[in-house]
Amino acid sequence: MKLHVLGCYSATPRTNTNPTAQVLEINNHMFLIDCGEGTQVELRRNKIKFNRIKHIFISHLHGDHCFGLVGLISTFRLLTREADLHVYAPKGLKEVITLQMKLSDSWTNYKLIFHELTSNTSELIYEDDKVEVHTIPLDHRVYTNGFLFKEKLGERRLDMNEVLNADIDVAYYRKLKQGADVPDNKGNIVKNELVTKAPKPPKSYAFCSDTAYNESIVPIIKDVSVLYHESTFLEKNKKLAAPTKHSTAKEAATIAKKANAGQLILGHYSTRYDDLNLFKEEAQTIFENVELAKDGKSFTYD
């Protein structure tokens, strides 16, 4: 699993700060999460191949999270994309994009499929044999979802030394990975756990931005490997967080702790702060394993 942070600042794009956009590499997927203005340029800068992006998840319809989408969709068309593109977004974005395409007298030459989100409870919005994606209802000024990306539990792994010692025919390897006991070449049944190891622990990633402090998300993201939680403000500006429905670094850390997250990544900083280390320090008073998102930074999890 690898997270590419393309932009992690709130509000408006500036010369050196980009609005929200991330790419999550997980089980061969390249999931684009949010798409602020300029995201297509940041994708290029971060050398992410456009044709690998097949699913885009939009948290909410504030501009710093979605104004780059129509341009990306248009660029895909200009690059003669053929693969389907799925967009998971609050109801309404389909109407905007459709109107913009109509007015420019250009429609996509690939299939553009909108999955409009309206539920206020967590729902499964994508699933294949290796990964699933759930919404995380957030508490913001407009209808907003975070997204939980979860690897499914994989197959058991062969302990090759033991498998060879036990003299098991290669024809049984598939069944071994599926957890079955199998016969050796003499016809004796070999217990699965003697020749296999547990599956790799599945990884998960929760994207939670934008949101006020909201404990109701804790059961949904419980035990998540990596939590990206917005921290627009520091505690010293907490009075700004409530009316704008944003969080402080301390609040983000409190959610990480309650959810028993493996790691917390902070982001969506207000551009009023020059020293982002203050966010880390504040969060670490509550939760130890804190990282700071940074435009162009990537995080790898093996």
Give the closest residue to 253 by CA, choosing from 272, 271, 240, 234. Answer: 234
Phi, psi of 4 (to 5 degrees): -105, 120
Burial class from Cβ neighbours inside 10 Å (0-12, 13-18, 19+) for residue 28 reads exposed
Residue of 3, 6, 13, 286 that binds its own copies (CB under 8 A): 13
1 or 58: whose CB is closer to its own copies? 58
Quote the CA–CA distance of 78 and 101 in Å, as a whole number.
13
Q: Which two tokens stand for residue 144?
A: 């907003």
Which residues are CB-neighbours of 53 under 8 A, at least 6 positions away? 23, 30, 31, 32, 43, 85
Residue of 6, 8, 30, 68 that binds its own copies (CB under 8 A): 68
Residue of 29, 62, 156, 245 that binds its own copies (CB under 8 A): 62
CB of 115 to its own copies, least distance (A): 16
CB of 108 to its own copies, least distance (A): 12
Given 64, 181, 223, 302, which residue is catalytic?
64
Interface segment toward its own copies; rule CB under 8 A; list 70-78, 155-163, 261-269, 286-294: 70-78
Residues numbered 77-136 forming contacts with its own copies, rule: CB under 8 A: 78, 90, 92-93, 95-96, 99-100, 103-106
Interface segment toward its own copies; rule CB under 8 A; list 55-63, 178-186, 205-213, 250-258: 55-63
- 295 in Cβ contact with 5 (< 8 Å): yes
Interaction of residue 48 with its own copies, rule CB under 8 A: no
Residue 5 neighbours by CB distance under 10 Å: 24
CB of 221 to its own copies, least distance (A): 26
Interaction of residue 146 with its own copies, rule CB under 8 A: no
Give the closest residue to 76 by CA, choosing from 66, 86, 65. Answer: 86
Interaction of residue 74 with its own copies, rule CB under 8 A: yes
Q: Which two tokens stand for residue 217?
A: 């998300």
Pairing verdict, β 2-7 and 21-26? antiparallel
Q: How far is CA 133 from the centre of its chain?
A: 9
Interaction of residue 11 with its own copies, rule CB under 8 A: yes
State the residue for tokens 């974005």.
Answer: 93
Size of the site for its own copies (CB under 8 A): 34
Interface segment toward its own copies; rule CB under 8 A; list 20-28, 65-73, 194-202, 281-289: 65-73
13 or 267: whose CB is closer to its own copies? 13
Pairing verdict, β 145-151 and 204-208? antiparallel
Cis peptide bond upstream of 210, omega within 30: yes
Interaction of residue 37 with its own copies, rule CB under 8 A: yes
Interaction of residue 223 with its own copies, rule CB under 8 A: no
Interaction of residue 63 with its own copies, rule CB under 8 A: yes
**Residue 167 annotated among the catalytic residues of the structure:** no
Catalytic residue set: 64
